[in-house]
């Protein structure tokens, strides 16, 4: 599954970084990204599942600009996945992510009350969720 406009350069760079990390550090590898970076991580994970995937602030289908390929990619992941999203994120409606996570038992969705796409004062809370989740999954 590729994003509608391809993003070949970005996906290739992400793939190379992942491969270099695996070569240098044996053990589990998680793809972790925020916003556009998380979007690219989700596309790569749909093609080549990592040990875990974390997306913070997924710009999955902004209102009026649906991204069905983004939705398909996230829905099809075959690895433990955490999505952390603000309930006021105007680029990634929580309802879309709730629907997708309800259909894939590998996806955990954490919704941060009062947070928008730029997490602001919720960054620490998001980081704590990510750290705890990764610690539990990658032991």
Burial environment of residue 7 by CB neighbours within 10 A (0 to 12, 13 to 18, 19 or more)? middle
Interatomic CA distance for residues 127 and 77, integer angstroms: 22
pLDDT digits (tens, 9 = 90+) for 13-54: 999 999 999 999 989 999 999 999 999 999 999 999 999 999
Dihedral over Cα of 99, 102, 108, 113: its sign: positive
pLDDT at 2: 52
- 88 neighbors 122 (Cβ within 8 angstroms): no
pLDDT higher than threshold 90 for residue 1: no
pLDDT higher than threshold 90 for residue 91: yes
pTM to 2 decimal places? 0.93
Strand partners, 56: 34, 84
- For the chain, give the number of residues: 139
Spatial CB neighbours of 100, under 8 Å, sequence gap ≥ 6: 60, 71, 74, 75, 107
pLDDT digits (tens, 9 = 90+) for 99-135: 999 999 999 999 999 999 999 999 999 999 999 999 9
pLDDT at 64: 84
**What kind of architecture, by CATH, is found in domain 8-137?**
3-Layer(aba) Sandwich (3.40)
Spatial CB neighbours of 26, under 8 Å, sequence gap ≥ 6: none
């Amino acid at each position: 599954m590729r994003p509608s406009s391809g993003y070949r350069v970005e996906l290739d760079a992400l793939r190379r970084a992942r491969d270099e990390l695996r070569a240098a550090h044996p053990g589990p590898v998680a793809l972790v990204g925020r916003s556009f970076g998380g979007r690219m991580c989700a596309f790569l994970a749909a093609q080549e599942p990592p040990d875990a995937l974390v997306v913070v602030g997924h710009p999955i289908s902004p209102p009026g600009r649906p991204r069905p390929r983004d939705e398909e990619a996230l829905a099809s992941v075959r690895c433990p996945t955490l999505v952390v999203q603000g309930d006021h994120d105007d680029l990634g409606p929580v309802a879309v992510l709730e629907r997708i996570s309800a259909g894939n038992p590998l996806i955990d969705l954490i919704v941060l009350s009062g947070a928008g796409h730029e997490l602001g004062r919720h960054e620490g809370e998001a980081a704590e969720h990510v750290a705890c989740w990764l610690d539990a999954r990658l032991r």
